[in-house]
A = this chain, B = another copy of it.
C-alpha cells in the first residue's frame, strides 16, 4: 500500500505468508495489532519466538512436543497400546483423533503426503523413521493408514502398503470410507456414494 511505514509492510508480508491469509486480511491483522497495548504486542512476538526454543519433534513418531522431553506424551505413555500405529499426514490430524478420546494406540506423523506435483517424494516424509520403527518390533503390529482421502493421501497409503506388505508381523488397515455422519445422501458426491455402497455392512 502507498506511503505505509516499512515495518507495517514487512509484518503484513509475514502474515500473508500464513495459509489462508491474503494481503487484505494481513493488513487488517497488522492494523489490529498496531492498536493493541504494547505489552500484548511484545508477548505475541515472544510467543512466536518461543516456537524456535520450546518445541521439538518426537524422535519416535514425529509428534510435536516440548523440547524438555525426549519422546512425546503419547509415545512415553505406558497405557498406550504400542502394537497399533495410526499413520497420519499431519500433527493436526493426530489431534483430531486425540480429541475423540477413543483411540488408545500410538501414531506416526508423516509430515505430508507424496505429491509429485509439489515435488514431495517419500524421502521428504518420515517414512524412513517408520520403517526403522517397524523393524525394531518382532511382535504383531497393526498399521492403520489414516492419510487424507484425496489423490495424494491415497498415493501415500498405496506406497506404505507396498513398502510394508512383505513384513509378516505387520497388519495394514485403513480408515473406513463412506457417508460422513449427518450427511445428506442427495448431496454426496459420486465417489463417496460408490465407496459407501461397496463398503456396505450387515444391518
Contacts and interface: CB of A to CB of B under 8 A. Distances in A.
Interface stretch (A43-51, A145-153, A177-185): A43-51
Nearest to A25: B20
A44 B34 contact: no
B65 A5 contact: yes
Interface in A25-66: 25, 27-35, 38, 40-52, 54-55, 64-66
Interface of A is mostly: helix
How many copies of this chain does one complex carry? Answer: 2
A48 B48 contact: yes
Query: Chain A interface: which size bin?
Result: 35 or more
A66 B38 CA distance: 16
A18 interface: yes
Nearest to A44: B14
A8 interface: yes
A166 interface: no
Contacts of A74: 3
A28 B20 contact: yes
A28 B33 contact: no
